[in-house]
Amino acid sequence: MKEGVKIRKVNFFNNKKQKLYGILNEVNKENIFIICHGFGSNKNRNFIYMLDNYLFKNDFSVLIFDFTGNGESDGEFSDGNYTQETNDLGKAIDFVKKLGYEKIGVIGHSMGGTIAILRTAIDSRINYLISISAVGYSKRFRKRYVNTKEKINQLKEKGYIILEKNQKKLTKEFIEDVESYDIMNYIKKIKVPFLIINGGKDDTINVNEAKNIYKNANEPKKLEIIPNADHNFGYKLDYDPKSPKEETREYKIMRNKILEFLGENLK
pLDDT at 1 over 50: no
Q: 264: which residues sit within 8 A by CB, 6+ positions away?
A: 193
Q: What is the pLDDT of residue 266?
A: 82
pLDDT digits (tens, 9 = 90+) for 171-229: 999 999 999 999 999 999 999 999 999 999 999 999 999 999 999 999 999 999 999 99
Tell me the torsion sign for CA atoms 177, 180, 184, 188: negative
pTM equals 0.94
pLDDT at 67 over 50: yes
User: For all residues of the chain together, what is the average pLDDT?
Assistant: 91
pLDDT digits (tens, 9 = 90+) for 101-114: 989 999 999 999 99
User: How far from 266 is each of 12, 57, 81, 188, CA to CA, in Å?
Assistant: 27, 17, 31, 22
Q: 102: which residues sit within 8 A by CB, 6+ positions away?
A: 29, 30, 31
pLDDT at 35 over 50: yes
pLDDT at 246 over 90: no
Domains, in order of start, for the chain: 6-138+182-265 (3.40.50.1820), 139-180 (no CATH)
Q: How confident is the model at residue 5 (pLDDT cuts 50, 70, 90)?
A: low
**Could you give the dihedral angle defined by the CA atoms of residues 232, 237, 243 and 244, in that order, rounded to the nearest 10 degrees?**
10
Q: How confident is the model at residue 37 (pLDDT cuts 50, 70, 90)?
A: very high
Q: What is the pLDDT of residue 248?
A: 87
Q: What is the C-alpha separation between 12 and 20, in angstroms, rounded?
A: 5
What 3-state DSSP class applies to 117? Answer: helix
pLDDT digits (tens, 9 = 90+) for 127-166: 999 999 999 988 888 988 998 999 999 999 999 999 987 8
User: How far from 177 is each of 86, 149, 172, CA to CA, in Å?
Assistant: 12, 22, 9
DSSP β-bridge partners for residue 71: none
Instruction: Say if residues 225 and 198 touch (Cβ distance below 8 Å).
Output: yes
Q: What is the C-alpha separation between 143 and 194, in angstroms, rounded?
A: 28
Q: How confident is the model at residue 238 (pLDDT cuts 50, 70, 90)?
A: low
